[in-house]
Amino acid sequence: MKTSLVLSAILAAACVQVAQADTTERIKIDAGHQFFEANCQRCHSVDADRASYGPLLEKVVGRKAGSYGDYPYSDALKQANFVWTPGALRAWMEDNDVFIPGTKMRHVGIVDPTVQDFIVTYLNSQ
């Protein structure tokens, strides 16, 4: 009896923790969505059915740079030999001209690490 009470207390606490983690993730995704809309969406889409000026960013985390479909990338991005990670995305958002010189993406300059984190979390969910 005592053991099962303790056990249910532990289980309940674990559930609250999971719910809190989910909520935090949800809030970050929503905030990231808004920052994406404000800073990226006029050139990028996360929906393959929607044409956009820049390359599609759906599933960009884990994708090789400069490799989406038949998008006409600059030589700089075509020749870049790495996979997009959260860290690479942060550096790119912070100063894309420094991260890979010579690409055709206009400078965005998202320097706030919290905003970078939100946008990465959002992109990671797409």
CB of 12 or CB of 53, closer to ligand HEC: 53
Smallest gap from residue 47 Cβ to ligand HEC (A): 15
Q: What is the C-alpha separation between 98 and 107, in angstroms, rounded? A: 10
CB of 4 or CB of 69, closer to ligand HEC: 69
Smallest gap from residue 2 Cβ to ligand HEC (A): 53
Distance of CA 12 to the CA centre of its chain: 32
CB of 14 or CB of 111, closer to ligand HEC: 111
**Residues 6+ positions from 110 with CB-CB distance below 8 Å:** 35, 39, 93, 94, 116, 119
Q: How many CB atoms lie within 10 A of CB 107?
A: 9
Smallest gap from residue 7 Cβ to ligand HEC (A): 45
